[in-house]
Amino acid sequence: MIKIENLKASIDDKDILKGINLEIPAGEVHVIMGRNGSGKSTLANVIAGNETYEVDGGNITMETTDITEMSIENRALEGIFLCFQYPVAIPGVSMAYFLRSALNAHRKYQGKEEMDALEFLNKAKAILSELGLDDSFLKRSINDGFSGGEKKKSEILQLLTINPKLAVLDETDSGLDVDALRTVAKGVNKFKNENNSVLIITHYQRLLDYIKPDVVHLMIDGKIVKTGDMSLVEKVEKDGYSWLEK
């Protein structure tokens, strides 16, 4: 699905990603763990095309398309979706309006007919009830005054509505209570199938008790230093990261 080769990125001349190699085939769930500041969110942002970061080398290929130079919205339309670690508020713009615009931008790109307000509402309501959210959620301004948990659920609502090819979850599990964590996990499990891929960035094992990863990567100082299976997660939970630095 996505292939990242020797990706280097910096901000204000400070090198952050120092040669990332990562390939996620369709149907797989990958996990990245790593210390605070090791560059995980940077990687997620660079995959999404955030222009705050300078790409200094390497390639990102989505299916067969090289997207390294592609604009943010075209990557999104090509199927990349980022669940933000800190989703930003847009006062006065309702979830419903925003999400329908986003969905229709995708549908248009895919040559499908745009969805009218009623059809959209029915689709969104079905997803909302699965996430245990009230319909009134759609009337609220995006992320404006949302609690931490509501923000994360809103990201999952958007993920399920847009139904992209690759979902990058940046600490979507952080700050959630036990029930909310289960709801989010349920949403991700509902999303995933053999034709799409998931990249989960996390600090904890707890989300992975619900979503079984196929591959786990450990990141240190802008590089993936170890790749393995679920046992790596257990090791990190127990021993932290210092053993990797030897």
Partner 1 sequence: MVDKNQQVIDKTLEQEYKYGFSTNIEETKFEPGLNEDVIKKLSKIKKEPQWLLDWRLKAFRNWEKMSEPTWANIKYEPIDYQALSYYAAPKQLKNDSLDDVDPEIIETYNKLGISLNEQKRLQGVAVDAVFDSVSIATTFKKELSKHGIIFCSFSEAVQDHPELVKKYLGSVIPATDNYFAALNSAVFSDGSFVYIPKGVKCPMELSTYFRINATNTGQFERTLIVADEGSYVSYLEGCTAPMRDENQLHAACVELVAHKDSTIKYSTIQNWYAGDKEGKGGIYNFVTKRGTCLGDNSKISWTQVETGSAVTWKYPSVIMQGDNSVGEFYSVAVTKNKQQADTGTKMIHIGKNTKSTIITKGISAGEGQNTYRGGVKILKNAENAQNFSQCDSILIGDKCGAHTFPYIDVNNPTAKMEHEATTSSIGEDQLFYCNQRGIKLDDAVSMIVNGFCKEVFEELPMEFAVEAKQLIEVTLENSVG
- The residue ranges that bind partner 1 (CB under 8 A) are 48-52, 71-73, 76-77, 80-82, 84, 87-88, 90-93, 97-99, 101-102, 105-106, 109, 141, 158, 162
Residue 202 binds ligand ATP (CB under 6 A): no
Among the listed residues 9, 31, 33, 39, the single contact to ligand ATP using CB under 6 A:
39
Among the listed residues 2, 41, 157, 202, the single contact to ligand ATP using CB under 6 A:
41
Distance of CA 209 to the CA centre of its chain: 18
Q: How many residues bind ligand ATP (CB under 6 A)?
A: 11
Residue number with CB closer to partner 1 (111 or 178): 111
Residue 196 binds Mg ion (CB under 5 A): no
Indicate which of ligand ATP, partner 1, Mg ion, none lies near residue 51 (CB less than 5 to 8 Å, by partner kind): partner 1
Residue 202 binds Mg ion (CB under 5 A): no
Residue 204: CB minimum distance to Mg ion, A? 13
CA-based radius of gyration for the chain: 18
**Closest to 54 in 3D by CA, of 62, 44, 46:** 46
Strand partners, 3: 23, 61
| Rounded CA separation 34/203 (Å) | 7
Residue with tokens 């999952």: 156
Sequence letter at residue 88: V
Residue number with CB closer to partner 1 (6 or 101): 101
What's the Cα-to-Cα distance from 53 to each of 2, 68, 69, 219, rounded to whole Å? Answer: 20, 12, 12, 18
Among the listed residues 4, 7, 16, 199, the single contact to ligand ATP using CB under 6 A:
16
Residue 28: CB minimum distance to ligand ATP, A? 22
Which regions of the chain does DSSP assign to beta strands (E)? Answer: 2-11, 14-24, 29-34, 54-62, 65-66, 80-83, 90-94, 141-142, 166-170, 197-201, 215-220, 223-228
Indicate which of ligand ATP, Mg ion, partner 1, none lies near residue 11 (CB less than 5 to 8 Å, by partner kind): ligand ATP
Quick count: other Cβ atoms within 10 Å of Cβ 36? 7
- Give the binding range for ligand ATP (CB under 6 A) out of 23-31, 33-41, 160-168, 180-188: 33-41
Are the beta carbons of 78 and 67 closer than 8 angstroms?
yes
Residue 87 binds ligand ATP (CB under 6 A): no
Residue 57 binds ligand ATP (CB under 6 A): no
Sequence letter at residue 144: D
Q: Select the residue whose beta carbon is closest to Mg ion and give its number.
A: 41
Residues that bind Mg ion (CB under 5 A): 40-41, 85
